[in-house]
Chains A and B, each alone.
Chain A
Amino acid sequence: MNSLVLAILIIPLAASAACFLLRKAEGSITRSIALAVSLALLALTSKISWDYLELVSGHSQIVSKGNTFAPVEGSTVIKELFRFQPATDTRPDAGVIRFYLGIDGLNVFILQLTTVVFLMGVIAGWKSVKHNPGAYYGLLFFLEFSTLGAFLSFDLVFFYIFFELTIVPLFFLIGMWGGPNRQYAAKKLFMYTLAGGLMTLLGLIALVTALGQNPGKSNTPTPVTFSIPDLVSDSMKASALVNNMAPGDEGLSKLGTPSGHYANMQKWIFLALILGFAIKVPAVPFHTWQPTAYFEASTPITLIMSGILAKLGVYGFLRIVLPLVPMATMDMAWLLGWLGAIGILYGAGCAIAQDDFKKMAAYSSLSHLGFCLIGIFALNETGITGGVLQMINHGLITGALLFLIAGLGDRYGTTRLKDLGGLGARLKVFAGMTMFFCMCGAGLPLLNGFVGEIMALFGMFDSRNPGYSGTCLAAASAFGMVLGAWYLLNFLMKVFFGPVEEPPFRNEEIPGDLSRMEKAILFPLAAACLYLGCFPQPVIETIRPEVRLISKIANNQVVSLVKEAVAPALPKNR
């Protein structure tokens, strides 16, 4: 499997270089190359997922692979790049930045989603990308390369490298192929994401050095490590140390013990880390770049940003924040929970008020990603599972909806709500598909949107965190689901029902229904949505080990904090 893993990184990079070199060639050639490469990548990731599922179901014991966060055997690619410190006997990978890739339950489906969304992006831009297609597809594949790299990395530094690298192609893709106000949108996106990302970098470095200095009680520093599995086990050791301290004598946050220092540092590290991820998602107070960027970007780019790049931030929470700074996460999960709930309501409210599909899609994305946040920061198994499912589902649904919006844009040259109406008569299959995906988005039971959102809500409702108004948040978020149905139905009604309103046709050409290529991608997607809505269990089973580990790290904290709250009743030498 590891050659496959390497291949899905190398192929987009090579394709990107090829597209740049072929920038003088005909647009149709580059487009065909782009389609072929995207299909090949889709096939490769499908193979990887298939292999992974076989591996997991074949050895059911892999589920209990212990308290490690390591990728499955056979999927790792490791290349040592730079050594900060000489290796020690106990830990040969200490002090070294490695090119460390792997597959585990958390990223396997997201990789699949990435290639699906990029394929949709390529097809959605089939007609609209006329200007300089070589550079466009070159940048697109570079974006795919960095996105896949970020999802595959098991080394903190490489995760960050790929994470940050995504904004470079995005800057050019928005700035050169966007709407009239594209320069401003591109600069705003770049500055926001870079500033947040740099804070994340500081957080990561502080995390690595803080863990390197003191999981043990002695003052001798253990060698730093950048490998995420090792960091997780270090972090668990340190948490256990703090938990085992008798309450009162060497307080959790008192400077004076290494672990106390560690607990104290965690708060700051947490804040630094979430800044970058929350901007990437985006979560509510940091979302102001999003409407301009989504609106000014060409629709295929909006599709990719909303379908997969937003997931990078959520993935960062899952992969890094939750397992590596568990104490601070426990203390401050309420903050992110509230941000998620506010995002759900605020995004839905704004989406109702928009007069443009793309803006509506941008705000609906804000709303739906809020469910990921409340699910993940419920910190229990149900919630986290819901968050992960919601990531996948939202990618599929919003991808398909934006794909359809791109189709409307291609057909009518407008995305304004008031220009279109009653199209159901002319575009029958188109209208049917749009309706189906809107229903998925609105969270109709038996469709996939429902599963993720309901599990996130259950998780939040069930959250045991003391002083954490889970019920309140869950109720608010449930109301957000109603608002979501409102704007989606509103959109459907205006565009596909009622009297026909069409802008004058461009090129005297009557817009046709879905083309064969569009059908070829939308029908399987619809099938996938239906399947995930009816039988989500295989996915849930596959991601279970990792989710259980994350929630265990968090729950360990829950127990300890509960213990502290009733400390006087407990024996002191606990």
Chain B
Amino acid sequence: MAELPPALSGFWVTFSTMFKKVNTEQYPEEKDKYPPEPRFHGRHQLNRHPDGLEKCIGCELCAWACPADAILVQGADNSTDQRFSPGERYGRVYQINYLRCIFCGLCIEACPTRALTMTHDYELADNSREKLIYEKEDLLGPLTQNMVSAPHEMVPGTTEKDYYEGKITEATPEQRAEVAARTDEESEAVR
């Protein structure tokens, strides 16, 4: 390219761009084409054991680690008729205030049971403060085919150790029967 007058060289930039690939992301129409990076810090998720019991033990270490004080946890005792997690303790109250959360990920590093992880979901905007405080039921991961929702008993004959060693793979028929036997009112009361 020989020396073009400066005015024309400007137009040349414009002209040549017409033959380049468009770099505009067509959000939201084509958002699947631009997934976040694998390590992206999105909305949190409270995971479950393979049989559907919750992994959260209500230890509040996430709340302790949080630099923005965005997490509120209150633990409670698993009673004999209502078991939410293997072992003694579960998280009765779990709230994350997404208006405070800075998505730094210190909470998921602090979690001793890998109950808390982060998803790639980032479309969180909403129109009130109340809606942006996520409760436990908003944060709990989805139930897969093999899971039944807590509360229910542990797999018969196992201890919490077996859960952490990964020996539990799916909900047993006993657990399914127990959850199925729960009436709607009972499920509502649990909530």
Q: Do A and B come from one complex?
A: no
B interface vs A, CB < 8 Å? Answer: none
A interface vs B, CB < 8 Å? Answer: none
